[in-house]
Structure 1
Amino acid sequence: MSGSTSELARRLGDHAEAVCREYLSNGRRVGNYWIVGDVRNTEGRSMHVRLKTNAKGFAGKWVDEATTEYGDLLDVIRESCGLLEFRDVADEARRFLAMPRSHPQNPGAERQPAAARGTPKTARRLFAMSQTIAGTLAERYLAGRGILLAVRERAVRFHPGCYYRDLVTGETRALPALIAAVTDLDGRITGLQRTWLDPGGNGKAHVNDPRRSLGHLLGNGIWLGLNPGAPVPVLAAGEGFETMASLRTVMPALPVAAATSANHLAGLIFPPGCRRLYIAADADAAGRHGIERLSQRAGEAGIATLVLRPQLGDFNDDLRHLGPIRLAASLGDQLVPEDARHFLPSG
């Protein structure tokens, strides 16, 4: 049998579930898919690996809804094991398949990186098809979470019939969705996050993954209160949109950025003139990694960093269950005094 790339990928696909259990051990099987955080075996639900060949594609193919990357099981072995050379990836694949090791015909050949899908152009088109949230299910949903955003927040919109595809059953249907634009520091849309909503107004849609992102996300974020190109001396950043929108609700003058995931939080690009960064804490391990990496990068850039910690699970829990006054009081104890005076309402 040939030792070619395509043949190795096909053989791995024949044992897709076993490969996932070996190299993506933090995931689990759901229907015909293995679900995990990402190709580096992080806990979560963003990445889906097809376990059986069907009309929709070959076994072993995967897509990460958060980063918009996709690939095959050779990519999984490369990334989860931290391998750089294709020769090492192929040797590890042969070890797993109990194949005899042999030198590839072209030892210098390298595998192409996983391609991206869900382009910025796609994101911009979907955002343009959306409408302002005033009077919509999106506004009702946010209000139900205690989140009140000003009409001028351009990053948040509503789509009455955004297509949702169930990655387990393959079923596609149109559902209302909250659309949040992911932009760069110049305000250009590079991606977006969709939160599908229950048509009856009862929170999120009752689907497996009601929130997904697409486009170019790394380094960018869902910005609330950003004036593109203007200095941002003080900034708050965190992983989740609702977490950061909750902070924005009680501190409407403070620019905030939601990075959409812990990995993307770690790579957030700092705006010009930033001298102090508040990072909204996340309790899970991936969240802690994102905070630590972002703090390290900020320190290297000469930016002072402080971590804001919620009293409950996250800041949206604080907003909903404790109320805006108690949330503001808790934040006041954590902010630098001059920022507390400037950003928190008096009284």
Structure 2
Amino acid sequence: MEHPAKVIARTLAADADAVCRHYLSNGRQQGRYWIVGNVENAPGRSLYVRLTGPMSGPGAAGKWSDAATGEHGDLLDLIAATMRISTLTDTLEEARRFLVLPQPAPRLKSYAPAGRGSPKAARRLWAMGRPLAGTIAERYLINRGLSDVAHHKALRFHPDCYYWREGHSPLEQPETWPALLAQVTDLNGRQTGLQRTWFDSATAQKAPVEPCRKAMGCLLGNGVWLGNPDDVTAAGEGLETMLSLRIALPALPAVAALSANHLSALRLPETTRRLYVAVDNDPAGRSAAKALAERAMNKSIEVVRLVPRLGDFNDDLRAFGLNELRVHLRPQLAPGDAGLALPD
């Protein structure tokens, strides 16, 4: 028996024009599309809904996407987003209510747009993610020597994450690639941004697009936290670098700032007493590590630099293995931390 959601989604798609006029009343029809600013019904041209087409497959009626945020889906997804509904049960209830209305409901109130690449857009995309286990993203990480990382709460997977090339048209269909989502948060655990890494599903390697990584939201001062901030913390640039360090030092909270510039500006918990700075062995990496170390020392935080043998700690992990990485790290740690962070 077909799931009721599929039946209702098709019923909505059969009258996509009426759905759009009701839920996206600040938009307008342009050819085969309904154009509006975003799912919050703001005026604009970022979000478009296909009004006509087959009932399923490519070009299906009722399919929509937002060029600014990468969000997309069917009309049930659209109703959930516009009404800020978080469960399928409530979404179906709202859709059934709409379908039996003899007249369109009053125009919805307009809200301030989320804005291209905003923290709100990042939170919406994060909510569309799923666990990493068994996905292309997990395969990619395992290929990088990063096994047993699917449990990290800061990581999710999106099977069809939109990728917009530079200079795309609002009506252009985007590419879709599987993507690793890395959640950027502040020191209170509030999401402020997101990093997306796209993959080729055939090879489980990075997708053949440039750049294959993009960030959205507010990154400055924030990062991808692998563990909760504590009085002893490690900080570095790249996600794979800090995942590698976290595998080697499993009891040490770590944060990936995602770039050299963002590492130098990373905010540290007020309770931090010792900071391990994972140095990338290139000029930008060394400069960023120095800037962060100086800021930390000015706050009377003890700074310990962790230096890899190669370019970064993921290079070391893949080249020499986990045991050798631990051997290399052990003499660099403060004496009181060695027994806590490393297994016997």
Other-structure match for 1:307: 305
Contact 1:164 1:174 in 2 (8 A): yes
Other-structure match for 2:141: 142
Match of 2:244 among 246, 270, 284: 246
Other-structure match for 2:340: 342
CA 1:305 to 1:191, structure 2 compared with 1: closer, same or farther past 3 Å?
A: same
Q: How does 1:101-116 map to 2 (within 5 A)?
A: none
Match of 2:233 among 232, 235, 246: 235
| Structure 1 letter corresponding to 2:228 | L
Which 5+ residue runs of structure 2 have no aligned equivalent?
1-114
Contact 2:282 2:311 in 1 (8 A): no
Other-structure match for 2:175: 173
Other-structure match for 1:157: 156
TM-score normalised to the size of structure 1? 0.63
- State the Cα deviation string for residues 74-125 of structure 1 (Å, max 9, x = none): xxxxxxxxxxxxxxxxxxxxxxxxxxxxxxxxxxxxxxxxxx8411100000
Kindly report the root-mean-square deviation, in angstroms, between the aligned alpha carbons of the 2 structures.
2.0
Using the aligned pairs only, state the percent identity: 53
CA positional deviation for 1:149:
4.0
CA positional deviation for 1:168:
7.0
User: 2:247 and 2:147 mapped to 1: Cα distance?
Assistant: 6
| Structure 2 letter corresponding to 1:310 | P
CA positional deviation for 1:316:
0.5
| Structure 2 letter corresponding to 1:177 | A
Helix, strand or coil at the partner of 1:182: strand
Give every structure 1 segment of 4 or more consecutive aligned residues whose post-TM-superposition deviation is greater than 3 Å.
Answer: 149-152, 168-171
| Structure 1 letter corresponding to 2:248 | V
Q: How many residues align?
A: 229
CA positional deviation for 1:314:
1.1
TM-score normalised to the size of structure 2? 0.64
- State the Cα deviation string for residues 172-211 of structure 1 (Å, max 9, x = none): 3010000000000111110011000111133111111111
Helix, strand or coil at the partner of 1:158: strand
Q: How does 1:183-194 map to 2 (within 5 A)?
A: 183-194=185-196
Helix, strand or coil at the partner of 2:145: coil
Contact 2:139 2:204 in 1 (8 A): no
Which 5+ residue runs of structure 1 have no aligned equivalent?
1-115
- State the Cα deviation string for residues 147-166 of structure 1 (Å, max 9, x = none): 13445411000000111122
Match of 2:212 among 210, 213, 219: 210
Contact 1:140 1:201 in 2 (8 A): no
Contact 2:137 2:204 in 1 (8 A): no
User: 2:127 and 2:168 mapped to 1: Cα distance?
Assistant: 29
User: 1:317 and 1:284 mapped to 2: Cα distance?
Assistant: 13
